[in-house]
Structure 1
Amino acid sequence: MIRENLNKTINYMKRNGVKKAVGMAYERLTAPYDMHYFYEPPTKEELERQRGTVFEKMPLISIVVPAYETREEFLAALIDSVTAQSYENWELIIADASESDRVKKCVETAEKSLAGRRAERIKYHALSKNEGISGNSNQAIAHASGDYIGLLDHDDLLTPDALFEMVKAVNTLSEQGISAKLLYSDEDKCDESGKNFREPNIKSRFNFDFLLANNYICHFLLLETGLMRQLGFRPAYDGAQDYDLILRAVGRMREEEIAHIGKILYHWRCHDLSTAANPASKLYAYEAGKRAVQAFLDEKRIDGKVEDTEHVGFYRVVYKPDIFAARKDVGALGGSVLDRDNKITSGILLQNGTCPFAGLYGFFSGPANAASVCRDVWALDARTMILRGEDIPVFEEVMKVPYIEKTKERDRAYCNRLDESIWRQRSLALCAVFRERGQRLVWEPKIRVRR
């Protein structure tokens, strides 16, 4: 763990310089976001209850695992995590491109230890040629017979309730008359032993702009089989092939067909060669991710250029000539309000009027770097908002203060103009106007106004 953090700090300093590296180190030391995290697995009683649950829809889930010279202890643990699922309508497809028989022997050992149907659900396929992660994954998909396909890396783990929670979400949407196309869950990281857990990635409901900035969906992912086969993985984006797939998939569905399951259902194993432990170990993957986002923008004819940020795997889209011209779906842009101590006091507003990043220093990146890139939000503090010219009269009518074009000139003009509670109350009312139009409100961390 110490070596892992040291490697991250050194690589960050090489990319961004000493000053920013010191700031990052200070954040890690003073704001350990996962300090009190403890993964608590479902109880035996809960798993038994889940096994006895009969849903109206009981889809077959195909879990595909492209394998290559996988360490025996990792693959055995993966298989155990799948066979322990409380939802039992699944199949595990292992597509092996190894030169040795290491993976095959591990699968055979697992099958011998399992009874009847569970052993039969494990389907091993030896690939004649190693076509890389995308090509091998496509071969695995070709053998899938399920209604949904789940993606599982060959050294990671599922929690025992992962498939149950996914199928539960499928049925919840079905009751609303919606057919789920893509489902994803929260995740955490585990050490090589697979027994110690940390860094929970607690995700949001689908967030288009955050997805353009980072593959926050990542693990655990289920995709409707027909769409998965239609799109497939593209070898040109190896290393970020799942990111490329997700971007193309969401571009072909309605947002209500996307479900987020707010539970840890996936353990991403950290070891020397994994990006979970050391992002710099696969920098090519982040370059591929950058190209995947650019390809998505080009496909959708959104005029913008994708740039790297100070964090590997996180991107910023520079729109041409600006976001309003490039994207008609965006109603307003906004940022953060900072106090004299350079701490965030407002900016993003939740439905209850609170700011999720309140108390963070302006130079902090936040948990999972979420405070360092753009994202869609419920509401924005009006003091930070940048608007189209035609919406300025709406601003002034609702806020009852003049709209000031340049954000740098708002510090003194807006500082003590209204009470904080009034700013928030009126900001929520203004943002409701844009939501009613079906427009997005986008938070941009670079926009700042000081109190």
Structure 2
Amino acid sequence: MLSDKPLVSIFTPAYNSEKYISECIESVLMQTYENWEYTIVDNCSTDNTKKIITEYVKKDNRIKLYSNKYFLPQIKNWNNGLKKINLDSKYCKVLHADDWLFPECIEMMVKVGEGNTNVGIISAYRLEEDRVTLKGLRYDTNVFKGHEICRKHLLSEIFVFGSPTALLIRTDIIKKYNCLYDEDEVHADTFACLKILKEWDFGFVHQVLTYTRRHNESVSSHVNLFDTKVLERIRALEKFGQYYLRPNVLQYHKTKRLRGYHRLLARRFFELRPLDYWKYHHNELNSIGLRVNWAFVGMLIALQIFRPIDTFPHIRKGCDKIYLKLKKTIKPRVWH
């Protein structure tokens, strides 16, 4: 009976995950879909992660453990692990060590993939801590044009990619790329989806199938401290906008997003962000051929400092008009 079902390779990158790794592995063992192989790559953990995984390897020969000789950065470790999965499989399911799958996850996702040969990525609703996310798609279909999904993503109308845990990907797609994830991108998983969907359609299961934790302090603190999500939206427009948006629409949203980005930088000035924050934004934009218009940021800061206080409403009303006029006329000319 298993031979009638396509093989699914499950991959978990693990590092110091002793608190959650058992729950993660148990969720795989409880899948209603049984034709799978499970590859776990331990990234030089210093706790009991490797010991816990080894016990499961002894119990089920479908589970395989690999240990890195040297510690690898997160994205590089993802790419390294994908090279160790069974490339004869038809689908690949990434599962982070601190997440888990609902029992019907793989079965329901494979069903969508098998029913639609042009679907390259399958997602579903996810439980993110205590709330359901990845919402916004029409309920009357499971298949969506890849270009339409990416267009809506770039315009910030929907977000249905989530983290790698939320997705099932055809293994043929992974074999096509030497490195599926761009190791220079903080949000490499999102960029991978935008890259894949240039040629493939997007599948979706209207059911909660994965659980994601947000406890990862090192990653979460970096994202929040450095506002990487704001930069990700700008970089995504610059890299992929030409494929999914008409030129006039792309230019409009580039300008709109950059205005908001510069206003954000002006607000961060009053929060006394560290010097590394400003260097990060300068370097990240430079890496895609753009630059921060510091003169524009300075003007926004000055306007905030010198705006009259509420005790002089008649003066403030006039200055507000000047302020709004300046915001429209001072343009961050950084798009090439």
Q: Report the equivalent of 1:271.
A: 215
Matched, 1:83 2:29: yes
CA distance 1:264–1:142, shift in 2 (3 Å)? same
Identity %, equivalent residues: 23
Matched, 1:73 2:44: no
Which of 108, 121, 142 is matched with 1:182 structurally? 121
Residue aligned with 1:181, SS: strand
Q: Report the equivalent of 1:236.
A: 184
Structure 2 segments unaligned to the other structure (5+ residues): 139-143, 265-336
Matched, 1:247 2:188: no
CA-CA distance at 1:111 after TM superposition? 3.1
Counterparts of 1:362-373 in structure 2, within 5 Å, are: none
Which of 45, 51, 57 is matched with 1:111 structurally? 57
CA distance 1:93–1:288, shift in 2 (3 Å)? farther
Give me the whole-angstrom Cα distance separating, in 1, the residues matched to 2:102 and 2:10.
Answer: 14
Residue aligned with 1:185, SS: strand
- Comparing 263-272 with 152-161, which one deviates more in the overlay? 263-272
Q: Report the equivalent of 2:9.
A: 62
Q: Report the equivalent of 1:224.
A: 170
Give me the whole-angstrom Cα distance separating, in 2, the residues matched to 1:288 and 1:66.
Answer: 23
CA-CA distance at 1:293 after TM superposition? 3.9
CA-CA distance at 1:201 after TM superposition? 3.6
Q: Report the equivalent of 1:198.
A: 131
Residues 188 and 264 in structure 1, CA contact (< 8 A), matched pair in contact too: yes
Aligned length: 238
CA distance 1:215–1:57, shift in 2 (3 Å)? farther
Q: TM-score, normalised by structure 1?
A: 0.47
- Comparing 93-102 with 154-163, which one deviates more in the overlay? 93-102
Give me the whole-angstrom Cα distance separating, in 2, the residues matched to 1:130 and 1:160.
Answer: 32
Which of 85, 92, 95 is matched with 1:152 structurally? 95
Letter in structure 2 aligned against 1:133: Q
CA distance 1:248–1:82, shift in 2 (3 Å)? same
Matched, 1:141 2:89: no
Give me the whole-angstrom Cα distance separating, in 1, the residues matched to 2:54 and 2:215.
Answer: 25
Give me the whole-angstrom Cα distance separating, in 1, the residues matched to 2:93 and 2:210.
Answer: 11
Which of 255, 259, 284 is matched with 2:203 structurally? 259
CA distance 1:289–1:77, shift in 2 (3 Å)? farther
Residues 270 and 277 in structure 1, CA contact (< 8 A), matched pair in contact too: no
More strand by share: 1
Residue aligned with 1:260, SS: strand
Give me the whole-angstrom Cα distance separating, in 2, the residues matched to 1:122 and 1:286.
Answer: 38
Q: Report the equivalent of 2:151.
A: 209
Give me the whole-angstrom Cα distance separating, in 1, the residues matched to 2:105 and 2:112.
Answer: 11
Give me the CA root mean square deviation: 3.1
CA distance 1:128–1:297, shift in 2 (3 Å)? farther
CA-CA distance at 1:79 after TM superposition? 0.7
Taking CA–CA contacts closer than 8 Å with sequence separation of 6 or more, which of the two structures ends up with the larger relative contact order? 2
Residues 198 and 243 in structure 2, CA contact (< 8 A), matched pair in contact too: no
Counterparts of 1:275-294 in structure 2, within 5 Å, are: 280=224, 283-284=227-228, 287-288=231-232, 290-294=234-238
